[in-house]
Every structure is written in structure tokens, then in C-alpha cells.
Amino acid sequence: MQKRLVWDLPVRLFHWILAISLVVQWFTAEVIENAMDFHFYLGYFILGLIIFRLIWGFIGTKYAKFSSFIAGPKAMLAYLRALMNREDTSTIGHNPVGGLMLPLVLTLVGIQAVTGLFTSDDIVHSGPYYDSVSSSVQKTLQWLHHQTFSFLWIFVAIHIVAILWYKFALKHDLIRPMFNGKKVVTEQQAIANSQLLKAVILMVVVAVFVYWLVEINPPIPEDDFYY
């Protein structure tokens, strides 16, 4: 047994870039003035990240795949029971409960990014699809854009507390492998490489799709002003 690759580079980059982007997104909306343009562009980028990770969950490396960590309630309960009894609960990829974080984040951040497309600051900045829905739909989606973020922070807080608990209470460091991708495993358990060519092709396809979605496809807003 020696340190070998478990988390591919796309998963690690996705994780840390997403975490930083979400903090920046909050600042650009709540703290920094006149940062709405940047908020929009970073929002489009995050939408791309989410679509990328969703597809990578089907075509990525072994431990990046949903099929390797999505567990039923029975497995989750058994895992929690073992954890309470301080039995050895280490898994190579995500554990049955921690594995919930990815679908949760993909859903909540996905909602955040999509509702942003229909949101306006009621001054000068409107998402590219703001004008394509009725005003009641605009209000609902804007409301969702405001509320979803609070939910997200609750899960992020639980996530960070759990990771720190593993590190300090169980003496099990999950953080370093999220940086260098490596854990102590056998050769059969490790992944051979990060499948970077596949990841780059997927990245380009997703970038083209997001560009089409936010720049080419949106309806041209009706002119409200007459000169």
C-alpha cells in the first residue's frame, strides 16, 4: 500500500474553484458596489462548472462517478451507526453520507445559476432571459435566487464541520487528498490517471453550450425607451 491517485484533477479543480467562486459571488452581490457585470460572468462560469461536474459524474474516473458513491438510506444509516461507534468508516471515495454533498450542491448551485438568468437588480442589470417570462415568473425566480443561497450556506457549514471533525476527532485527513488527489491504497484501488483529454474536450463542449445559452440564444429585449 502506498499513496496513489484517487481524486482526478478535474474533481479537485472543480471543488476548489467552485468554493472560491461562490464566496466571490456573494461578495459581488452583497458587498462590492457596481460588480453586477462581474457577478453575471462568474455566474455563467459557475453554470459551466455545474454542467461539467454533472456529466463528469457519468463519464469521469472511478471515484468521480455518481455510481461509486450514491447510496441508499440503509447504507447511510449503517454508515452513521458505525461512525457513532467509532468503527473504521474510511472509504476510498466519498462515504455514503458525504456523497450527498455533490448532488445537493449541483442542485442548489444549479438553481442559483439558472434563476440568475431570469433575475434583475431592478436598476440596470437584467439576466439574459429576464424579459422572456411574465412578471410573476420573474418575481418567483428572483425570490428563489435570493433564498437558495441561504440554504447552500447551511449545507456548506455542515460540510466543513464534518470535514474538520474527521480531521481532528477521527484523525482522518480528507483535505490533503482533495488537494493532491492521493490516498494510501492498493494499485487496483487507485485510478490510472485523470483522463485529462476527455476532461478538456468536455470543458470545450460545455463552454460552447454556455456561450450559446447566454449570448446567442436569449431573446433581444424590447426597447423601453423612445428617443
First to last CA, the chain: 74
Closer Cβ to ligand HEM, 173 or 205, answer by number: 173
Name the residue nearer to ligand HEM (CB basis): 101 or 226. Answer: 101
- Which one of residues 5, 53, 96, 202 is an interface residue with ligand HEM (CB under 6 A)? 53
Rounded CA gap, 208 and 58, in Å?
20
**Which region, judged by CB under 6 A, interacts with ligand HEM, from 81-89, 105-113, 196-204, 215-223?**
105-113
Q: Is 125 in the site for ligand HEM (CB under 6 A)?
A: yes
174 binds ligand HEM (CB under 6 A): yes
Q: Does 156 sit near ligand HEM (CB under 6 A)?
A: yes
And the C-alpha cell for 94?
466519498
Instruction: Quickly tell me which residue has 442589470 as its cell.
Output: 125
What contacts 12, CB < 8 A, 6 or more positions away? 178, 179, 181
Q: Is 26 helix (H, G, I), strand (E, B) or coil?
A: helix
State the nearest-atom distance from the C-beta of 219 to ligand HEM, in Å: 14
Return the axis-axis angle of helices 9-30 and 36-59, rounded to nearest 10°.
Answer: 160
Between 120 and 132, CB nearer to ligand HEM: 120
Closer Cβ to ligand HEM, 164 or 205, answer by number: 164
Query: How far, in Å, CA of 54 to CA of 46, rounded?
Result: 12
**Which of helix, strand or coil describes residue 129?**
coil
Q: Which of 35, 78, 178, 203 binds ligand HEM (CB under 6 A)?
A: 178
Cα atoms in the 13 Å half-sphere on the side-chain side of 76: 9
Residue 135: exposed, middle, or buried by beta-carbon count in 10 A (0-12, 13-18, 19+)?
exposed
**Mask: binding to ligand HEM, 26-45, rule CB under 6 A, as x and -?**
x--xx--------xx--xx-
Q: Rule CB under 6 A: is residue 159 a binding residue for ligand HEM?
A: yes
Q: Which residues bind ligand HEM (CB under 6 A)?
A: 11, 14-15, 18-19, 22, 25-26, 29-30, 39-40, 43-44, 46, 53, 94-95, 98, 101-102, 105, 109, 112-113, 116-117, 119-121, 125, 127, 145-146, 149, 156, 159-160, 163, 174-175, 178
